[in-house]
Structure 1
Amino acid sequence: MSSDEQALMDLVARGVKLPPQPQVLVQLEDNLSRGDPDVRTLARTIAQDPGLTAMLFKAARSPLFNPRNRNLDRLDQVLMVIGSKQCLNLARAFSLATSIPGAHRHGMEVFWVRARELARLAALIADDRITVCNVFPDQAYLAGVFYECGVPLLMQRFPDYCQGLTMNTVNSWPSLQEEDQRFNVDHVTIGYLVARHWKLPDFIAQAIRCHREIPHADMGATRSLVAILQLAVHFFFRVNRIDDAHWPILADEVLGELCILPEELEDFFDRISDRFDAES
C-alpha cells in the first residue's frame, strides 16, 4: 500500500468523507485513456449531466478558452475548440463543488466564490505567462479550484469549523496551525489527497501540496504552477482591497519564476485585473 493510500484510509477513519468522482468524469477519463477518442462519444457522455454541459458552454464563450470567439452551439464543437483534455480539466473543476454537500451554507457559498475567483485569476496569469511557464489556463483553473478544497470537507466534518476559523467572509483564509491544533489535520493535506483521489495530473497535486511554499527549481512545472497560484492569491487580495501579509516573503521567487520584474508588477496587475473584470 502506498503512503497516499494509507493517508486516504486514515482520513476516512477520522470521519472525513472524500467526494467521489461523478460517473460522467469516470467515463470521460476512461474514454480519453484509450487514445484518440471520438468527440461525438465524449459529447454524448458529457450531455448526461445538464449542469456540466451548461458550464462548458459558458467556458466556451469566454475569450480565455475561445480567443477567436467562435459561435458554438453543439457540444462536439466545444470539445474541438477547447480541446478534449482541456474540457476534462474544466469538467473536474466544475464538478468538485457539486460533489461536496453543504454543511454550513453561508461558509460554503463564501468558499466557492473565493475558489472560483482565485481559479479565474490563476487561469488569466497562466494565459499571459504561457510561453514562460508552459502551464495552460485550464490546468491553472483546475489547480485554483482544488487549491483549498480541503476547507469545505473540514466544514462538513466539523460543524464548528467556520466559527473557530472565521470562514464567514471572502477575505478570511484559514490557518494551517489552528487547524492542526483543533482537528489534528489540515486542509492542505486533505486537498492534496482529494487531488490524488480524483486523478489530477501529478504536478497539479504536488502544487496543491506545496500550498504557500515555493518548491525547488528542479520541480519544473510544479514550481511554475505554485508561482502562478501565489500570484493569483496576491491579486485576489488586491482585487478585494486587503493586505497580503505573506506576499513579501514570496514575491522575489514568484516574480522570478514568472519572469516578471518587480517594477513591472503594477502594469501586470492592471492588465490581469482588467481582463478579470471584463469576464466577470
Structure 2
Amino acid sequence: MALDEALLATLSGDESKGIGRLLEKGVTLPPQPRVLQELQEKLANGAADVRVYARLLAHDPGLVAMLFKVVRNASYRRFQPFESVEHILQAIGLQQTVNLVRAIVLVSAVPAKHNRKAFEAFWARSHAVSELAMLIAAERVAVCNIFPDQACMAGLFHDCGVPVLMQRFPTYCKDMRLDEPGRWPDLAEEDRRFEADHCVIGYLVGKHWKLPDFICDAIRFHHDIARLENHAARTMVAILQLAIHLHHLDLHFPDPEWAAVHAEVLDELGMGEDTLPELIDVVLERHHAAANL
C-alpha cells in the first residue's frame, strides 16, 4: 500500500526515510476490508437507520460473531444481554459499534505468512490487552473521558506494527526473541535491524485506517508517555500501559516497563498507589468472568 505525501509528512525526517526504505523492501500496510469502508461511508453520509448497518454486518457472519463476543465485555454490562445486531447498534451507538468493528477486522487484515503460532499468540495478547483496556476505561470514564470502544481500538491497534513486520520479515520473531515468555520487541533493536519500529508502523496503519488522531498518537508513543502533553493521547497511553501491566500480572510475567512509567500512569488516571490494588482486583475479576462466558 503506497503512502501519500501528507501521511509521510507527519513523521520526522529520519522516520520518513526509514519508512521509505521499508516500503522498498516490500513492507505493506493492511487494506481496510470492504465492510468497514461501507460502514464508514454510511456514517459519513449521516445514515441513522440501524437496520442499514445491521444488513451490512450480516454479510459477514464471522464478524458478527466476534462483535457479540466483544460486547460481552463487562464494560457493557448495563446493556446486556444483547439480542441482535440492531440491539448492539441501538445500545452502544453507531460510531461506537463501527469503532469496535474497526478493531475486530484488523485481525483478518493481517494474515499470517510465516509462523502461524506466533501470529496466534500475538493476537491472543492483543485481545487480552484490549479487553483489559476496555474495563479500565469503563471504570475511569468519569475522570478520563475515554470510552470502552476507543480503548478497544487502541488495545488491538497499539502493537499492530508487530504483525506487519512479522509478515514481511520471516526472521522477525527470532531476531526479537518473541518466543520467550513475556518478551516484547526492543525499540532500539528493531530500529537497528529493520530501520523502523513497530510503534511508527502501527501509527501509519492507524492513520491509513482513519482512526482518531489521539489514538494514532497513542499508538505511536505507547512506550513513551513522557513525550505526550496533557491530552487524550496521553490518557489513552496510560490506560494501555495499565492494561499491559495487568496482563503481565495475570500471566505472572515480569513487566520491566512498569517501574519507569507507573507514577505518570497513575497521575494521568487520577489514581494513587493506595487505590490501584482495588482497581486491579475489580478489572481482573471481570476479565476472568468474561472469559468464562
Bucket of the pairwise TM-score, normalised by the shorter protein: over 0.9
Runs of 4+ in 1 over 6 A off after TM superposition: none
Between the two proteins, the alignment pairs up a number of residues equal to 279
Residue 63 of structure 1: how far off its partner (Å): 3.3
Distance 1:215 1:29, change over 3 A: farther
1:185 maps to 196
TM value normalised by structure 1 = 0.94
Determine the C-alpha separation between the residues in 2 that align with 1:241 and 1:35: 47
User: Does residue 110 of structure 2 align to residue 87 of structure 1?
Assistant: no
Partner letter of residue 120 of structure 1? Answer: E
2:283 maps to 272
Aligned residues of 1:60 and 1:82 also touching (Cα < 8 A): no
Aligned residues of 1:114 and 1:170 also touching (Cα < 8 A): no
Aligned pairs for 1:27-46 (under 5 A) are 27-46=38-57
Q: Secondary structure at the match of 1:193?
A: helix
Determine the C-alpha separation between the residues in 2 that align with 1:27 and 1:10: 32
Partner letter of residue 4 of structure 1? Answer: L
Determine the C-alpha separation between the residues in 2 that align with 1:60 and 1:252: 31
Structure having greater relative contact order (Cα 8 Å, sep ≥ 6): 2
- 1:108 aligns with one of 111, 115, 119: 119
Aligned residues of 1:21 and 1:99 also touching (Cα < 8 A): yes
2:258 maps to 247
Aligned pairs for 1:63-102 (under 5 A) are 63-72=74-83, 74-102=84-112
Identical positions, percent: 44
Aligned residues of 1:110 and 1:168 also touching (Cα < 8 A): no
Residue 250 of structure 1: how far off its partner (Å): 0.7
Partner letter of residue 249 of structure 2? Answer: R
Residue 26 of structure 1: how far off its partner (Å): 0.3
Q: Secondary structure at the match of 1:279?
A: helix
- 1:13 aligns with one of 21, 24, 32: 24
Residue 216 of structure 1: how far off its partner (Å): 6.0
Determine the C-alpha separation between the residues in 1 that align with 2:51 and 2:33: 20
Partner letter of residue 110 of structure 1? Answer: A
Residue 37 of structure 1: how far off its partner (Å): 2.3
Cα distance per residue 1:199-231 (max 9 Å; x no partner): 001110000011211146744111110110111
Q: Secondary structure at the match of 1:178?
A: helix
- 2:132 aligns with one of 112, 118, 121: 121
1:131 maps to 142
Unaligned runs of 5+ in 2: none
Determine the C-alpha separation between the residues in 1 that align with 2:40 and 2:192: 38
Cα distance per residue 1:168-206 (max 9 Å; x no partner): 255211111111111111111100000001000111000
Residue 68 of structure 1: how far off its partner (Å): 3.5
Distance 1:99 1:135, change over 3 A: same
Between stretches 118-127 and 259-268, larger displacement belongs to: 259-268
Partner letter of residue 2 of structure 1? Answer: A
Residue 20 of structure 1: how far off its partner (Å): 0.4
Partner letter of residue 189 of structure 2? Answer: E
Determine the C-alpha separation between the residues in 1 that align with 2:228 and 2:194: 33
Aligned residues of 2:176 and 2:186 also touching (Cα < 8 A): yes
Residue 4 of structure 1: how far off its partner (Å): 2.6
1:50 maps to 61
Aligned residues of 2:266 and 2:273 also touching (Cα < 8 A): yes
2:219 maps to 208
Residue 53 of structure 1: how far off its partner (Å): 1.1
User: Does residue 6 of structure 2 align to residue 2 of structure 1?
Assistant: yes
Aligned residues of 1:110 and 1:169 also touching (Cα < 8 A): no
Determine the C-alpha separation between the residues in 2 that align with 1:38 and 1:191: 33
Distance 1:203 1:16, change over 3 A: same
Determine the C-alpha separation between the residues in 2 that align with 1:51 and 1:123: 22
2:160 maps to 149
Determine the C-alpha separation between the residues in 1 that align with 2:261 and 2:277: 16
2:185 maps to 174
